[in-house]
Structure 1
Amino acid sequence: MSTRPLLEVRNLSVTYGSGAAAVPAVRGVDLTLPAGRKLGVAGESGCGKSTMALALLRLLPASARTTGEILLDGEDVLTMKWGRLRAVRWAGASIVFQGAMHSLNAVRRIGDQIAEPLLVHGRATPAAARSRAGELLEHVGLPAARAAAYPHELSGGQRQRVMIAMALACDPRLIVADEPTTALDVMIQAQILRLIERLVAEQDIGLLMISHDLAVLADTCDRLAVMYAGRVVEEGPAKAVYEAAAHPYGRALSAAFPRIGDPASRRAPRGLPGDPPDPAGLPGGCAFHPRCPVAVEGCAERDQELRDAGAGRRAACVHVGTQVGSTS
């Protein structure tokens, strides 16, 4: 039995444009995801999460230049020929895009849209594909009869379930979920998250889930990677990173969400001043230092690599091991 990870991302970098106008959106990202496990990727808007996700299946525009390695079952997605890449999309790995209403075709019935990848990949006849679409809808908690509906006839939560059914149609080994619960109310959000967890467990697939919400990722995923300015600045067990991040940016993200049952966090919620830097004008040294509450003089001069933070964790901070600013 192979012990090779389902997904390995090695030194992944993505830039838009070229020459002096090149903009670095992702800078040297390394990630590992075994089959049957769930990896969360967190960070504010503009930190490179979605660009990284789209790079995994080479869905970026022609203006993007991607380097590094993306190994799916040991095969590099970045060097695949187009025929092989088409075979891998949906069947080997699929993606649940952010905003189901914008991802679904408004003038096609949802059953036809779920059946389409089955037909494209030659997995079923038209009749069998329609039947399978109904089965998939029931698998994600919708009646098979809803296959005849158009996207506008469904609620936001129902459309998100349709997107998940489409992602599962060809039995992929990896699902990438980019903000799968954005704009859903908390009850529907909880239902979608439990559904995703159940499907991962039942089908032994790998899940890479992207969100700005550390609490959601800590509750859903096994491990968590925190991105800032195109780099992973911390990674480790999800609950440990959420409850006691080793990097000051991770601590700031966690503190921005009041904890139920914690009067202190409810009465004095904390945020993080400022915004992530423009990728076209990154500051020198550690990109987080202009916003960092514990920055020291050297932070503006020298970037930090990920280093051991104990208990299966790594963080890119000069204070790792010194407990400066730690909440633990």
Structure 2
Amino acid sequence: MSLLEVDDLTVTYRTGGGDVPAVRGVSFALEAGQKLGLAGESGCGKSTMALALLRLLPKTARLTGEIRFDGEDILTMSWGRLRAVRWAGASIVFQGAMHSLNAVQRIGAQIAEPIRLHSKATEAEIRRKTGELLEHVGLPARRADAYPHELSGGQRQRVMIAMALACDPKLIVADEPTTALDVMIQAQILTLIESLVAEQDISLLMISHDLSVLADTCDRLAVMYAGRIVEEGPAAAVFGAARHPYGQALAAAFPRIGDPASRRRPQGLAGDPPDPAELPTGCAFHPRCPARLDHCDRVDPALWPTADDDRRAACVHVLPDEGLSLLTKEPA
């Protein structure tokens, strides 16, 4: 049994203008100790997915499907059981530490709070563990008395990681943990996350728009577009030779070091992601797809195993001939 199993998850937001689908039938599994990256452009549903895993979405969100964590369905848990799972079973590193930390509370108190709620430790033990966590993420224990505004962006992100580790979880969900950081600090934070996950045998779901970061950090990679996973497989293989045209476009957007031609002529992707409230018919990517076929505006393939390796892609180009003929056959 996988540590985390997501089965046919949909998330729909109720708005004044009608229902808006943000996540559409997503399924994946995460094994104990495994690192899975979730990539895609802004608006594809990545952060909604992250918040759904611990039921942190607003009341306007309607969820269906299953999210099984350690054999229990998150979506049917009582509030008491869910509070016990948060932090102690699975924790989250939010995007933008300055907005996630309490500006008027010292960081030591914020790290101590989940320990106090989820353990029977004494105050002395809590203070000692708080200092140990800060040192574990590369900050002196004395910084526990600092307020968030007294720390740099990279230091605040380290505090967020310390909070995520406070109750020894089995799973960490990192939602764009390095977006607001410069390249050098980003590299330090990614190295820190990777080493801590390996040392403590924690599973990691890392979410980012940066395919190269995920390829370097994660074992497997899933690519999202318009609320669906359109490709999934070994991280290096998906980044190096994506099978779905969208994955290919994301990978091609990164210039290759030592290749002047790719630096001078970066490859982008024309157009914008679709409005979730007005998704195109058929494959949602077909209006932007450079490899679209005549029937892509009415065929919306599910994830399908590719022919020669351990991955899946939701594209007619990976379907076998007999599967493609069934999908494109005109109704009688």
- Measured against the shorter chain, the TM-score band is over 0.9
Q: What letter corresponds to residue 243 of structure 1 in structure 2?
A: G
Q: 1:210 aligns with which of 200, 207, 225?
A: 207
1:132-151 residue pairs with structure 2 within 5 A? 132-151=129-148
**Contact 2:221/2:232, CA 8 A, preserved across alignment:** yes
Q: Which residue does 1:317 correspond to in 2?
A: 315
CA distance in 2, matches of 1:200, 1:191: 14
Structure 2 residue matching 1:319: 3-state secondary structure: helix
Which portions of structure 1, spanning 4 or more consecutive aligned residues, are displaced by more than 4 angstroms?
none
The Cα of 1:19 is off from its aligned counterpart by: 10
The CA deviation at 1:127 is: 2.4
2:172 to 154, 170, 175: 175
Aligned to 2:87: 90
CA RMSD across the alignment: 1.2
Contact residue 12 and residue 66 of structure 1 kept, 8 A: yes
Q: 1:325 maps to which residue?
A: none
Q: Deviation at 1:125?
A: 2.1
Q: Cα offset for 1:318?
A: 0.6
2:217 to 212, 220, 226: 220
Contact 1:258 1:265 in 2 (8 A): yes
Matched ranges for 1:17-36 at <5 A = 17=14, 21-36=18-33
Residue number among 236, 253, 256 corresponding to 2:253 in the alignment: 256
Contact 1:41 1:225 survives alignment (8 Å): yes
> 1:191: which partner in 2?
188
Tell me, yes or no, if the aligned pair for 1:91 and 1:170 is still in contact at 8 Å: yes
Classify the secondary structure of the residue corresponding to 1:68.
Answer: strand
Provide the secondary structure at the position in 1 that maps to 2:316. Answer: coil
The structural deviation recorded for 1:302 is 1.5
The answer on 1:234 being equivalent to 2:231 is yes
Match of 2:52 in 1: 55
3-state SS, counterpart of residue 115 of structure 2: helix
Q: Is the 8 A contact 2:304 2:319 kept in 1?
A: no
Looking at structure 2, the residues matched to 127 and 295 of structure 1 have their Cα atoms a distance apart, in angstroms, of: 63
Q: Which amino acid aligns with 2:304?
A: R
| Unaligned stretches of 5+ residues in structure 1 | 323-328
Q: Deviations over 1:228-284 (max 9, x none)?
A: 000000000001100110000001111111122222211210111111101000000
Could you tell me which amino acid in structure 2 is paired with residue 90 of structure 1?
A: W
Q: Distance in 2 between matches of 1:54 and 1:244?
A: 30
Per-residue CA deviations over 1:24-82 (Å, capped at 9, x if unaligned) read: 00000011111111000000000000001100000000000000110111110000000
Q: Which amino acid aligns with 2:179?
A: T
Contact 1:114 / 1:165 at 8 angstroms: preserved in 2?
yes
**1:19-168 mapped onto 2 (5 Å cutoff):** 21-168=18-165
Which amino acid letter does the alignment assign opposite residue 32 of structure 1?
A: A
**Cα distance in structure 1, aligned partners of 2:67 and 2:311:** 22
Is the deviation greater in 149-158 or in 258-267?
A: 258-267
Given that 1:123 and 1:170 are in contact with CA atoms closer than 8 Å, whether structure 2 keeps it comes out as no
**SS in structure 2 of the partner of residue 17 of structure 1:** strand
Deviates more, 1:307-316 or 1:244-253: 307-316
Instruction: For 2:287 and 2:273, locate their aligned partners in 1 and report how far apart those are by CA, in whole Å.
Output: 10
Task: Tell me the secondary structure at the aligned position of residue 275 of structure 1.
Answer: coil
The CA distance in 2 between the partners of 1:135 and 1:254, in whole Å, is: 39
| TM-score, length of structure 1 as denominator length | 0.95
Alpha-carbon separation, structure 1, partners of 2:186 and 2:120: 31
Q: Is the 8 A contact 1:16 1:24 kept in 2?
A: yes
TM-score by length of 2: 0.94
Preserved CA contact (<8 Å) 2:3 2:30: yes
Work out the CA distance in 2 between the residues paired with 1:294 and 1:19: 36
What letter is aligned with 1:180? P
Structure 2 residue 293 is matched with structure 1 residue 296: yes
**Rounded Cα–Cα distance in structure 2 between residues aligned with 1:90 and 1:185:** 28
> Letter of the aligned partner of 2:310 in structure 1?
G
Question: What per-residue deviation string (whole Å, max 9, x for no partner) do you get for residues 81-108 of structure 1?
Answer: 0000000000000000000000000111
Moved more, 264-273 or 136-145: 264-273
**Alpha-carbon distance between aligned partners in 2 of 1:126 and 1:62, rounded to the nearest angstrom:** 36
Q: Aligned residue pairs: how many?
A: 319
**Structure 2 CA distance for aligned equivalents of residues 18 and 111 of structure 1:** 39
- Identical-residue share of aligned pairs (%): 77
Residues 300 and 199 of structure 1: is their aligned pair in 2 closer, same or farther, counting only changes over 3 Å? Answer: same
Amino acid in structure 1 at the alignment position of 2:313: A
Q: 1:247 pairs with 222, 244, 253, which one?
A: 244
Q: Deviations over 1:137-188 (max 9, x none)?
A: 0001111111111101111010000000000000000000000011111111
